[in-house]
A and B are shown apart, each in its own frame.
Chain A
């Protein structure tokens, strides 16, 4: 089965600082990968998804970017964080043999101060 590793688990960053969150996947190849954000008291918002190396689709215009330098690596970045970037960030992977369901990582709690 697929396993997603996400780090760090928690992060406190000042406004204007850069961000890099990493997600790696084990147990599958050529997966579809996703970044979601969960703001306090709100649902999950899809930020980016990728169907292959170097292929990134952005769902919401914002202060963030994503990259996929390797098949099983997905990175979420920002050059300058805003207060509104605070939230819980989740990486997810879709495997074909899961019947199109997703496997989620354990998440990163980002607080921008």
Chain B
């Protein structure tokens, strides 16, 4: 089985500053990794995913993440955040032959002017 740990529950950040959200996973098999964003009272929207190939993955809204197999990490970054990036962010993992995604507990990002 796979599991995900998001190391920060809350991340306050000023507008136009960079942000990094940390995600570590555990798995005994090859994995697929995802980052989702959830705005208040909405469903989850896929930001980006890693399936294979290049370890640097670019997603929507200027986000990117880097897969590090040796450190079992998949950290999410954005070089300059906007007020509209205020949301909750979830890291998720599934085994390569698994039907199910396992989610982290989420990181709440609050962007202040």
Chain A residues in the interface with B (C-beta under 8 A): 4, 6, 32, 34, 36, 42-44, 46, 49, 51, 88, 90, 92, 94, 98-107, 109
Contacts and interface: CB of A to CB of B under 8 A. Distances in A.
A107 B41 contact: yes
B43 A46 contact: no
A102 B90 CA distance: 13
Interface residues of B, number: 21
Contact of A42 (B41, B45, B51, B105): B105
A90 B44 contact: yes
B74 interface: no
Given A44-B90, A99-B32, A101-B34, A106 B43 contact: yes
B87 interface: no
Contacts of A98: 46
B90 A99 contact: no
22 contacts: A4-B43, A34-B100, A43-B90, A43-B103, A43-B105, A44-B90, A44-B103, A44-B106, A46-B102, A49-B99, A88-B41, A90-B43, A90-B44, A94-B99, A100-B32, A100-B94, A104-B43, A105-B43, A106-B42, A107-B41, A107-B43, A109-B41
Nearest to A34: B100
Contacts of A46: 100-102
Contacts of A88: 41
Nearest to A43: B105
A4 B44 CA distance: 12
Contact of A104 (B32, B44, B102, B106): B44
Contact of B99 (A36, A51, A101, A106): A51
